[in-house]
C-alpha cells in the first residue's frame, strides 16, 4: 500500500536538473545589439558554412549544366519574345526617366530632400534555415569583412527578402520577412494606409495594426514605408491575399503573399547605406541626383 511513495528521489533530482539547464540557458540568452557571433558558436559555424557553400555550389553547378542543355530548344523562341518585350520596356523606361528628371528638377526648386543612391552589395544564398517548416532564415556568403552589419536590409529586384540578423567575418544570417519574428514598417501603396508587416511562416505574412477604416483590397501592393530606417521607401513586400474584419475591434487583419519567393531566392542585395529620414541631412542644391542604385560585387 505504501509502495506508491517509494521512488528514487536521486534519479528524480537528476532528471529535474537535466531539464532545468536548457531553461536556465534560455534566460541567460541575450538578444541584444551585438552583431558578432559569440565565441563558442564560431567553431560550429567555421565547419558548417564552407560545407553549406560547397553543397550549394555543387547543386547549382549541376542545375546550371542540365538547364543549359535541356533548354537549348526553347532558347531561340524565348529570345525572340524577350527582344520584343525589351523594346517595349525600353520605351517605357525612357518615358519614366523623363518623368524622374522632371521630378528631380521640381524637388530641387522646392528645396526638398531627395533620395540618395543606395550602396548595395550582392551576395549569394548558401543555405536556408535547418527547420524551415517553422523558421524562415537564409545564410549568405558575405559578412563583416564586406561591410555588413546587423539590421541591414536585404532585397532582390523583385522586392524585400528580410534583414541581417547575425554576422560573422565571412557569412551572415538573414531573417526573412515570412519569419514570425520579422517586423517591417509597411504601407499599402494605393491608399498609403500604414501598418506593421509580420511573418506568419510558410510563405505568408500579415499586416498588423491597420485601422478598421483603412481602405485595403485584395490585390493591393504592400511596400516599405522607409520610416523604420531599415529599408528604402517603396520596395515591394507583397500582394494582399486576404482581408478580414471582425464584427468588433479597431483593426483589420490583412494577409499578403511576399513578392519574393524565399524558398527559391539565390542571389540577394544587402543595402549598405540605407536612407534614414530621421538622420539623413538635406543635401545642398548643388548636389546632383545619382541615376538609381549602384550594385557592387
Partner 1 sequence: MTRPSWVFINFTLFLMMVLICSSLQSSLLHWIFNWHATFQLAITIAVYVILNRGQVESLIFTYLAFYCMAALSNMFEGVAVLTGVTLYLGLRTIRTRIYSPTPTHFTWAALSSIFLFHFLSWIFTVGLELNVPRAHPLVWVLEILITALGIKPLYHLLQWIDQKTNRVTVSEIIL
Which residues form the interface with partner 1 (CB under 8 A)?
11, 15, 18-19, 21-23, 25-26, 29, 41, 44-45, 47-48, 51-53, 55-56, 58-60, 63, 126-137, 139, 165, 173, 175, 179-181, 200-202, 263-264
Distance CA 156, CA 236 (A): 10
Nearer to partner 1, 10 or 76 (CB): 10
Least Å distance, CB 5 to partner 1, is 21
Nearer to partner 1, 30 or 76 (CB): 30
Nearer to partner 1, 118 or 139 (CB): 139
| Secondary structure class of 124 (helix, strand, coil) | strand
Under 8 Å between Cβ of 270 and 148: yes
Nearer to partner 1, 159 or 162 (CB): 162
C-alpha cell at position 242:
486576404
Least Å distance, CB 163 to partner 1, is 13
Nearer to partner 1, 19 or 109 (CB): 19
Grid cell 504592400 is found at 222
Which CA distances in Å does 76 have to 72, 79, 110, 169, 181? 7, 5, 50, 43, 45
Least Å distance, CB 291 to partner 1, is 35
47 CB contacts (<8 Å, ≥6 apart)? none
Least Å distance, CB 202 to partner 1, is 7
Least Å distance, CB 122 to partner 1, is 19
Under 8 Å between Cβ of 219 and 239: yes
165 CB contacts (<8 Å, ≥6 apart)? 137, 150, 172, 173, 174, 175
Least Å distance, CB 240 to partner 1, is 19
Torsions phi, psi for 55 (to 5 deg): -65, -40
Nearer to partner 1, 172 or 226 (CB): 172
Q: How many CB atoms lie within 10 A of CB 176?
A: 28
Nearer to partner 1, 118 or 206 (CB): 206
Least Å distance, CB 46 to partner 1, is 10
Under 8 Å between Cβ of 178 and 200: yes
Distance CA 256, CA 178 (A): 10
Amino acid at each position: 500500500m505504501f509502495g506508491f511513495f517509494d521512488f528514487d528521489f536521486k534519479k528524480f533530482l537528476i532528471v529535474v536538473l537535466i531539464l532545468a539547464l536548457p531553461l536556465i540557458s534560455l534566460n541567460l540568452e541575450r538578444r541584444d545589439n551585438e552583431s558578432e557571433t559569440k565565441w563558442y558558436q564560431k567553431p560550429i559555424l567555421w565547419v558548417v558554412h564552407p560545407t553549406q557553400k560547397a553543397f550549394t555550389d555543387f547543386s547549382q553547378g549541376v542545375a546550371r549544366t542540365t538547364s543549359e542543355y535541356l533548354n537549348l530548344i526553347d532558347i531561340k523562341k524565348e529570345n525572340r519574345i524577350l527582344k520584343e518585350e525589351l523594346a517595349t520596356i525600353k520605351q517605357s523606361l525612357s518615358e519614366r526617366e523623363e518623368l524622374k528628371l522632371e521630378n528631380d528638377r521640381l524637388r530641387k526648386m522646392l528645396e526638398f530632400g531627395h533620395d540618395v543612391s543606395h550602396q548595395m552589395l550582392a551576395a549569394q544564398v548558401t543555405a536556408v534555415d535547418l527547420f524551415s517548416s517553422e523558421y524562415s532564415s537564409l545564410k549568405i556568403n558575405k559578412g563583416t569583412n564586406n561591410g555588413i552589419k546587423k539590421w541591414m536590409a536585404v532585397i532582390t529586384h523583385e522586392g524585400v527578402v528580410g534583414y541581417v540578423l547575425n554576422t560573422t567575418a565571412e557569412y551572415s544570417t538573414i531573417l526573412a520577412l515570412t519569419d514570425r519574428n520579422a517586423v517591417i514598417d509597411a504601407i499599402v501603396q494605393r491608399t498609403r494606409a500604414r501598418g506593421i508587416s509580420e511573418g506568419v511562416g510558410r510563405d505568408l505574412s500579415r499586416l498588423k495594426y491597420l485601422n478598421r477604416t483603412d481602405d485595403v483590397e485584395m490585390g493591393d501592393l504592400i511596400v516599405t514605408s522607409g520610416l523604420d530606417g531599415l529599408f528604402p521607401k517603396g520596395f515591394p513586400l507583397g500582394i494582399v491575399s486576404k482581408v478580414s474584419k471582425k464584427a468588433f475591434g479597431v483593426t483589420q487583419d490583412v494577409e499578403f503573399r511576399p513578392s519574393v519567393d524565399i524558398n527559391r531566392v539565390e542571389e540577394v542585395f544587402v543595402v549598405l547605406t540605407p536612407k534614414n529620414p530621421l538622420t539623413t541631412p538635406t543635401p545642398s542644391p548643388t548636389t546632383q541626383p545619382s541615376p538609381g542604385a549602384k550594385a557592387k560585387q
